Homo-oligomer: A and B are copies of this chain.
């Protein structure tokens, strides 16, 4: 590996002209090079060649894809979208190539693979390299797998979390408690956030909530909130809303909070790996970067939730509390029932409908969603000093009952750009019980999958409406849930899935 010299044949002072091919290769930067290009020849092509690309203003490490067709002209190099953005170039700009510096942090990763723990600064170095785009997907997958196979001890988790916080922006809300909540995923319909924010902000606490869009679920909090108000706020707008109303529910994509987390999650999802260390670092790095000081964590436990058993929950709680406390946050974990979806609607608009019913304190509001939101809001009120120990849930209930939470929610929506009503799907189809009996199981994952196939979250009105709860008795032919879609094709597609997966809701004869 050499230092600064350019690759042979490309000439010391001669580069290639960039062309934006408009190909989105996910986060990995890719350069497309003609087969006859000297850089291809020098790097060889049998392994996984990576090259350093330098523009007038920036540089990046990219993977080479060789072009064997006439797609590119001589002395032209194609750039993927991520390479284009990293290099900050314009069409036809000249870029230069050199050997990338050796990726020294790979030796730290290898040591972990072979059984050492990550030493001081090792994780900071690796996360720094990931942040600089030096890791290809192959390297990322190896890092994720090594962390899962070898595990991370408390100190490693703390270091990883710190490094991930340092990789992005960090919000500062001044003095006073900044409260936050997070649910350790896997439970469809568990959309407590807009309710919790409204209650605690109505009680005078500060809760600047940044939420994600769905990655593999039928709705993220940002998707649901977006059916009721704009969520695409930049940081100054977000500050204005929080200063005015004490809280907000916006999409976190406009601020770079622990951006490495998104990179790692993408690869974890592809592998379907959830490791405790990565989970702790993912949750807490986002919260620490968001400037939260008091944090309530909702851990649903159930056979088809992310946390499967009380033993797993206890271990995770201990790690979350230790790392969170070390980062200066006050953390409280609440273990909740994760055996079935929460509320009735699954999908952005259907969940928003449930949220509105609870906020309006309507008699037909789903009791489980209401109770969970009150428990979490109560815990936050206690943790943030706005209610005495043990009195939080009652205080939260009072704020909901007297309309203050509902008024606060409307005010937040107006401040975010104007309140609106969630859309309703034009295509619906009920799915009925084949036989009578008792509901003995609801598969969170199958329910989520059906909602996604019906179009959620990109079709906002799509999803499903669950009509039954665990242990309820149903008659043959009674509807178990109704699929909602914005097109007949998507409705058919979801129905096709449901007909081949009848155990999404299991009914057993007594």
Q: Give chain A's interface residues, CB within 8 Å of chain B.
A: 1-3, 5, 7-9, 11, 20-26, 32, 35, 41-42, 44-48, 65-71, 81, 106, 110, 113-115, 136-142, 144-146, 148-150, 213, 215-216, 266-267, 269-273, 449, 452-453, 458, 487, 489-490, 492-493, 496-497, 500
Contact = CB atoms under 8 A, between A and B. Distances in A.
Q: Copies of this chain, how many? A: 2
Nearest to A81: B68
7 contacts: A20-B69, A23-B65, A23-B67, A24-B68, A48-B266, A137-B141, A138-B270
A22 B272 CA distance: 31
B47 A270 contact: yes
B24 A66 contact: yes
Given A47-B270, A141-B139, A65 B24 contact: yes
Contacts of A20: 69
Nearest to A41: B458
Contacts of A138: 137-138, 140-141, 267, 270-271
A69 B22 contact: yes
A162 B487 CA distance: 50
Contacts of A110: 271-273
A42 B148 CA distance: 30
**7 A-B pairs with least C-beta separation:** A22-B69, A48-B270, A141-B141, A149-B149, A145-B145, A24-B66, A47-B269
Nearest to A103: B272
Contacts of A497: 2
A266 B44 CA distance: 12
A215 B46 contact: yes
Contacts of A32: 23
